[in-house]
Each structure stands twice: as C-alpha cells, then as structure tokens.
Structure 1
Amino acid sequence: MTTPHDADPIALVLPGGSDALTVRPLTPGDAASVAALMATCEQHDVGEVLIEEADIVGDWQRPAFDLASQSVGVLDGERLVAYAEVYKARWADGAVDPAYRGRGIGAALSRWTRAVGARDGGTLVGQPVPGDSAGERLFAALGYRSLWTSWVLEMPAGESIVPQPTPAGYAIREPRDRADLEAAWTVNEDAFLEWSERERTTFDEWAATVVNRPGYEPWQLRLMADPAGEVVGMAFVIVSGGCAYVDKLAVHRDERGRGLARALLVDAFEVGRAHGGDRSELSTDSRTGALGLYEKVGMRVTSLWRHWAADVVAAPATTEAAGAAHAGDA
C-alpha cells in the first residue's frame, strides 16, 4: 500500500460552470472551517449538530493520515463549501454545503475519493451519510451499495439508566499510566475487530482520537478493572454543547455477561453529567447487534445513518457522473 507522504496527488476536477470555485488540499488551519461546514450539513440533514472541531483535529493527527495527499477542499472565495478526505484507502468523509448541492460537486468528490483509494492500494471506499438525505440519493445514483446501518441514540436530560452494580472486586477508575492506556486500546481493538472488517489500529492511531484529542482529561477515559487489577473494559466519553457522548465502549469477550458494559455506560453518563453533559448520546450499528440493548435502557433513536461504499477507480476525478448528481447531489 502506498504511504500517504510519498503519494502523487489526485486532481479534483469540478463540473463545468464551477469556474468561480477553487480547489486545494486542506491544511491544519482548515479544521474550524471543515467543522463549520459539517455542522451546517448535519443541521440541514438530521436536525442537530454532532461534530465539533476537536473531532476533526483528532482525525487529522493520526499518523497514517496525510492532509496534503488525502484531502481536498472546494472554496468559493475564502469560504469552504465542500471537502473530502480518505483515510487508509478505505474510509472517506465528505460534505457539500446545502446551498451548493445539485451542481455535480458531490459526484466529483466521489470520483476523487475512489481515485485516492485506488492510488493508496485500497479496493473499496465509502462513508456514512444520513438516511433519506441528498448524500444517500447521490450514492445510490452513482452505483454505491449500502453495507450497514448506524443509529444515534439519546438519553434525554433528566433521565438516567437504572444503576448496574459491578461484580465484587471489580472497579471503574481513570487511567494511571501508559500501561493502562495500552490496555484500554487493546480491549477496544479486540472487541471491535470481532465484527469490523478493518486492520488493527495502532496505539498511536487510537491515541490520536482519545488521549491526544484536543481538550482530553483523564476523567473522560473510564476503565473497568477486574479483581486482579487488569483492565477488562473501557469507555470514552466526550462532553460538548451540553451533551455527554460515549464515543467508545468495549468489554473483553471473556468478561461479558456480568453487567460490565452497562455499568460502564451508567458511569460514563454520570461522569459526563458531572462535567456539564445534561443529556447523553452514543451510536451503534447493525454489525454489533446492540441497538436493542440501548433501547431497553431507555435510549431513543434520534437519527439513522447508512454506510455506502463503492469500488475504487484507478483514474483521476472526472465529470462523467455529474448528470446523476443533479438528482440529489451531496
């Protein structure tokens, strides 16, 4: 697989009539603009804002990601109106300002992401988009296929989960040292790789979006320790805009069935509330089979997303699909 830092750039070719727009790779200084663009799209498509700038910064500082060769921005003057990025030749993110949809920009970005995936040695590139949105209609028109469904669930302010006592000898605590962090990473990766079709994330890649995420404090990472002091479960909670979002939740396979995941979830919500998160959220997808568990504890689905993917294309971005984009361009 091509390493991003020595990859040849892929040109983004916009459709005809886009002469007023400019194209360039993104830089670290664009994080706030990307967050604002995504927030505008989320508010328009799902009625709430889920993204924050720290999410962008954390993703961009992963060692395996290179902004210069794996990102592109579309600007109208100084204003960022669309962007796309591709991580590890497989995982794309992209958005088009609602005011600029229907012009073929989304189709051009799609072609660009697939070309980047091909250049970097991948076979499939895709991203999640809200259900019944312009992005979903665009991907369907371009021949993408839906691989799985995700849901964002909420525990409204003032409501809480019935407490789940931990078994005798088990305890929830903050990380104390590097060994604790590596243990949390191992539990997290082992659990998610049971159903996720991806390569194992390195510790440094994981840490970029957890302990090295802007604003991180030790109370955010919750560890479940067994009677011997070994870390057998973990949760990571982010508080933003009055919401405590449980970004990660995992328990070692051999320790399941003891109520540890629910205990970690209750703890994450409570510590999040103590730090200003009056309501709580998390997301899950159809590969985990966990939707019913969260609904049983009182959480409610607030939005539905689907992951759409397509085969990579070993060619520069073109406008051949621009016509289909006008049916619902993202």
Structure 2
Amino acid sequence: MSAVLPDTFTVRPPTKDDAKAVFELVRDYTQAVVGFPDYTLDDAVDELTEPGFEPETDGWLVFDGDRLVGYGSVFGKGEFRILDIDAVTSDPAVEAYLLAEITRRGREMSAAHGHPMAQLDTGCYRLDTTRRERLDAYGFVQGTTFHRMRIDHQPPVPAPEPPAGVFVRRGTPDEASQREAHRVLVESFTGQYGFEARSFEEWHAAREAQTTFDWSGMTLLEIDGRAVAVRECTSAFLEDENCNYIGHLGVLDEARGKGLAKYLLRDQFALDAAAGRSGTLLHVDTNNPTPALGLYLSVGMTESLVIDSMRLTVDV
C-alpha cells in the first residue's frame, strides 16, 4: 500500500493544541455519514493525550494549505497484538496516504514487540458504504459488528433490588477496589474480539487521563466478599446526547446465570433517569460468545447505530 500526496499538501504530527481542529474534522465526517455529530472535543483531547500514544511517530495531520483535510493515528496497548487505527478524511487520496503510513508504522510497532504480523483494527459505520468499499479494496476484512444500543428514560424509573446474596460496591476510590475492577474486566473480556488485556498500571493511567471518566462511575458486585461483576460508566455521550455511557459490563463465568448483568443495567437506568439523563447508551459485539444482544433487548434497549470492525493483517 503506497500513496503520494499533491505537492501543495503538508503533513505533520498532531499535538494537544490540534484537538479543536481534529474534533471539527471528525465531527463533520460523522455528521455527513450518520446525520449527527458523533464526536466531541473531549474525544479528540483524550485521543491525543492518551498515555502510550506517541504523536511524533504514531499520528498524522494532513493539510491543504491551512485547512486540515486528514487525520490518522495508530495506537497499541497491552502486548500490542492488535493495533487500533483511524484515518479520517473525505479525500480518497489522503486516505490512501494515511493508511500507507499507518500500515508502515504498524509493522514497526508489531515487530518491536516480537509479533510476526500486524493486526490493524478500525471501525466503519455501516451507513458509510463507499468507505467500506475502499477498505475492502485495501484488504481489510470484517471481524465483527458492534451495535450501539440505547434506551430513553421517562422518570421515574424504579430501582431494582440486588439479587440475593449480592453486595453492591458503588465507586472504586482506592487502589484495592480499582485492582478488583481491573481483574474482573480482564477475566470477563479475555477472548472477546479485539480485546487486549492491559497491565493494571497501564489501564489505571489510561483511566486517570480520560476526560469523561471518574472512579465513581465504576460499580462492583460482590458475592461472599469476592468481586464477580463490574460496570464501568463514563460521560462520553453527556455533552452531545445527555446520555450516560456504559463502557464495559462484565460478569465472571462463575457468576453467570444469577441475573447480575440485568441488575447492573436496570440499576444504571434508574440512576441515569434520576440524574436527569435522557437515556443510557452502550456498544455490544453481536459476535460476543455470550448472548449479550438478547440481554440488552430484553431490558428495553434498541439499536441506534451499527459499526463494523474492520481488520487488516499484514506481515512485518
């Protein structure tokens, strides 16, 4: 994969000061594709400042004169087996350039971590059929599909009672509870598509740096003093949709079948309605080994957006 930009175009790495320009570029793209701005300034700031992201080598801004026309990034975490990438532009030539640079850098990153292949993942709105066709031509294949699920709240929403024998720990303000949340997340999500386990230190640093995250948004369920389920919420959709966002919801194998996930969902709906939130959002992998989509439908959530996860695998 290779591409050359017009001579009048310039390229440089991004900095935090570019967050507003990146936000406007991505906002305009999402507005054109899905009909609303599915991106916020906080999203841009978090991407450009996430611990582990090295903008000098792993980010690209493409300008036509003074106008930003393309933004690309590649980011690895955990053992770097999977790299998250993004290439946002309305210009196919700029997209080809960004993907070529991302692929080159992805090969370097994977090789540095001892992997024989680079696996590059990106999301593509199901509605963006022209971009999907271009990704297919580049060699990307669909790995899974994520559905954005939503429920709108009409207060009052009754708060559910916890299942028998379950203790609810709201918030994880100290290291011990944070380590428990990390353990449950890793154990419950390992094996799912695209999940890359991170060390506690890496995961903790990422949460601390995230603009829309607070440890008060983490909830643990305990049985016999042991954490067996976790719910992680952020305000990622508060600014644009007045909705709370469930970023992760996991239940350990040993505790499944006890109604814990359904309780965590209904409990969050009640909390969000009481706080004046218009609704609650989350993303679900429809190829999840657990029947997650049916769970969310059963509590009244409906599909609001479909995003295909596309993967390019290249030798290093």
TM-score w.r.t. the length of structure 2 is 0.84
Deviates more, 1:147-156 or 1:121-130: 121-130
Matched, 1:279 2:267: no
Secondary structure of the residue aligned to 2:74 is strand
The within-5 A match list for 1:12-51 is 14-15=4-5, 18-51=6-39
Q: Please tell me the residue identity of whatever aligns with 2:91.
A: R
Q: Which residue of 1 aligns with 2:140?
A: 144
Secondary structure of the residue aligned to 1:38 is helix
Matched, 1:119 2:88: no
Which of 291, 298, 301 matches 1:296? 298
Q: Which residue of 2 aligns with 1:72?
A: 60
Deviation at 1:270, TM superposition (A): 2.9
Residue by residue, what CA displacement relative to the aligned partner does 1:100-158 show, whole Å, maximum 9, x if unpaired?
A: 434x1112212221111111124221201101413212101222211111111111242
Secondary structure of the residue aligned to 2:68 is strand
Q: Cα–Cα, structure 1 residues 278 and 208, in superposed 2: closer, same or farther, change >3 Å?
A: farther
Identity %: 25
8 A contact 2:59–2:73 mirrored in 1: yes
Q: Distance in 2 between matches of 1:153 and 1:119?
A: 36
8 A contact 2:173–2:216 mirrored in 1: no
Q: Distance in 1 between matches of 2:38 and 2:219?
A: 22
Q: How many residues align?
A: 296
Q: Which residue of 1 aligns with 2:264?
A: 264
Residue by residue, what CA displacement relative to the aligned partner does 1:275-298 show, whole Å, maximum 9, x if unpaired?
A: 442111111112314112211221
Q: Which residue of 2 aligns with 1:128?
A: 123
Which of 170, 174, 178 matches 1:177? 174
Secondary structure of the residue aligned to 1:35 is helix
Residue by residue, what CA displacement relative to the aligned partner does 1:19-58 show, whole Å, maximum 9, x if unpaired?
A: 3322111112222322332222222112233332333433
Secondary structure of the residue aligned to 2:148 is strand
Q: Distance in 2 between matches of 1:160 and 1:202?
A: 40
Residue by residue, what CA displacement relative to the aligned partner does 1:141-194 show, whole Å, maximum 9, x if unpaired?
A: 222211111111111242898755322332321113111111111111111113
Q: Distance in 1 between matches of 2:39 and 2:223?
A: 34
Over the aligned positions, Cα root-mean-square deviation in angstroms equals 2.5
Residue by residue, what CA displacement relative to the aligned partner does 1:75-105 show, whole Å, maximum 9, x if unpaired?
A: 2344322111111262112211xxx434x11
Q: Distance in 2 between matches of 1:92 and 1:199?
A: 14
The within-5 A match list for 1:89-238 is 90-96=83-89, 100-102=90-92, 104-121=93-110, 122-133=117-128, 134-158=130-154, 164-172=160-168, 173-228=170-225, 230-238=226-234
Q: Distance in 1 between matches of 2:255 and 2:177?
A: 18
Structure 2 segments unaligned to the other structure (5+ residues): 111-116
TM-score w.r.t. the length of structure 1 is 0.80
8 A contact 2:61–2:70 mirrored in 1: yes
Secondary structure of the residue aligned to 2:216 is helix
Structure 1 segments unaligned to the other structure (5+ residues): 1-11, 315-330
Secondary structure of the residue aligned to 2:10 is strand
Larger fraction in strand: 2
Q: Cα–Cα, structure 1 residues 91 and 217, in superposed 2: closer, same or farther, change >3 Å?
A: closer
Q: Distance in 1 between matches of 2:61 and 2:314?
A: 20
Secondary structure of the residue aligned to 2:133 is helix
8 A contact 2:266–2:299 mirrored in 1: no
Q: Please tell me the residue identity of whatever aligns with 2:272.
A: G
